[in-house]
Chains A and B, each alone.
Chain A
Amino acid sequence: MRQQINLFARANQNSGHIEARYAVCLTGEVGPVLTEFAAFVRQEGRISINCKPTDCEQFLTTGQYWNAHELAEVAAQHSGRTKEEELEEHLADYYIKRRGFDETFANGECFRYGALNTGGMGAVYYGGSYGGYCVVLQGDFPETRGEVAYVKYDSLDNYVDAAGRVDVARLGPNLAADSHKCRLAAIKHEAEIATHPRDAWPSLLCAGTYMEAVFLQPPVRTAIDRVRMDAHYMADTEHMLKTALTTGLAGDEAKRLSTYRKIQLLLREHHIVLEGV
């Protein structure tokens, strides 16, 4: 087995390189704005996880958010098959690529993924965040700051080939430790920052592309700061109540309304704010 890389140590080692690149960026015309942007990211930056309604409900119910390996483990306990068989079936065409990435890094199977978020619905995964929930973690998550790495772009999409080979040489300079995430963000957006007013910074950071957060600490319910959902979807769901109370709902609509209500109640029970954005 090849030597596994410590992703977090590699991110830490890149700090000097980021400092140097950031210093160069500051000498340009947008230097003062970039300084402000970096301060904004340092102040407001949180890790967020986008999830489907059922996943959000499950996270709030069980208090735990499982990654693909843990889900495969649970599935294996019920099916009698091995965890690897479950994972292979689930990841289908992407099994080799995903497995290759996990095996390149120490504790790769324990990695969890999120996005660096300063407001809004977080990483726009499905061509639109409509219908999903964005779970925003507390500012001090993860507790072990040395076990989080920020990647300039989505890791799986940008630094791994179909055979599962990670382009470590290209990934390395695009990694940041927690202390340098704001400077990496500033470097990434140097070219666009001048055309984005301050209120557009959250979507600049998390629209189209996003900065990925890879971390080890399992997020638990108490680590949740707030949950956001698309305001349009929230309105549409609440309007279903009119039909529900008068003519009744079809099965799929009843499910949607019921899941929304369950999430509302769980959030209230655990004193977590639900925001429509």
Chain B
Amino acid sequence: MLELVAMAEEDGWAFVRTGEELVVVQPPYQAWSRTKATASQLEQAICRHGFKQAGEPFPDWGQLIQHLKQRQVAAWQERGGTGLTEREMEEMVQELSSDRLAEFLDHVETELLPRQQWAAAEKLLRVLLGVRTVLDSDFLRHRTLSLWDRCQEKRKSVMNVSAGEVAWRFPHTPRSYQELGNARAQAGSPFC
């Protein structure tokens, strides 16, 4: 049994008692964002940092974290908070350091392409191709373009299946879709 001892709902931070131990949990609620705390830190959090005493029991971490997330979003929305628009996010990307942009390219190369998440990869690469830092850096620009080409090639290699091959591999696919030779038809997606 866990006890939610105190929380700062607007930020999703909380002091939780797990048996004898007191811990602080913070977004994104990973093992590395959970730290041991002391009674005096709890006191400071309440007296000086706006945490509110709670005293609610929870059967497991999943439910507790779900509760923290819900309270956080509710408090945010109550204050009129809204998410960023796509344009605002693209502006943020414009301001990222070249190291961070390189990490984004790593993500495309090692996560998105191997998982065949073409649309996501293209979206990210398209945004990166509009970033001044990328355009001004030979290394980043070439790498982005090269990943873009790889994404297009891989996507094409999956999509460019002849109608005959689709019919042979997926005999139950309607003829009209066999002729499209697209990814959905290959998968025999029942969208007819």
| Chain A interface residues toward B at CB < 8 A | 50-55, 68, 71, 90-94, 97-98, 113, 125-128, 130-131, 154, 156-157, 232, 235-236, 238-239, 241-242, 244-247, 249-259, 261, 264
Contacts and interface: CB of A to CB of B under 8 A. Distances in A.
Contact of A125 (B49, B73, B83): B49
Interface stretch (B84-92, B145-153, B176-184): B84-92
A255 B8 contact: no
Contact of A51 (B35, B49, B107, B117): B49
B69 to A, nearest CB: 4
A167 B24 CA distance: 30
Interface of B: 8, 10-13, 23-24, 26-28, 32-33, 35-38, 40-41, 43-50, 52-53, 68-69, 72-73, 76, 81-84, 86, 88-90, 92-93, 95-96, 100, 103-104, 107, 112, 117, 119-120, 123-124, 127
Nearest to A246: B120
Contacts, number: 142
B76 A255 contact: yes
Contact of B37 (A126, A131, A232, A247): A126
B69 A251 contact: yes
Given A245-B127, A246-B123, A246-B124, A261 B92 contact: yes
Nearest to A248: B83
Given A52-B8, A125-B44, A244-B89, A258 B123 contact: no
Contact of A92 (B12, B46, B95, B127): B46
B69 A257 contact: no
Interchain residue pairs A-B with the least CB separation, the first 4 = A246-B120, A254-B83, A127-B35, A251-B73
Contacts of B35: 126-128, 130
A241 B10 contact: no
Nearest to B30: A236
A156 B44 contact: yes
Contacts of B23: 127
A7 B45 CA distance: 23
A196 B83 CA distance: 45
Given A126-B41, A131-B33, A261-B92, A53 B48 contact: no
A212 to B, nearest CB: 10
A252 B69 contact: yes
A246 B119 CA distance: 8
A235 B32 CA distance: 14
Contacts of B127: 245
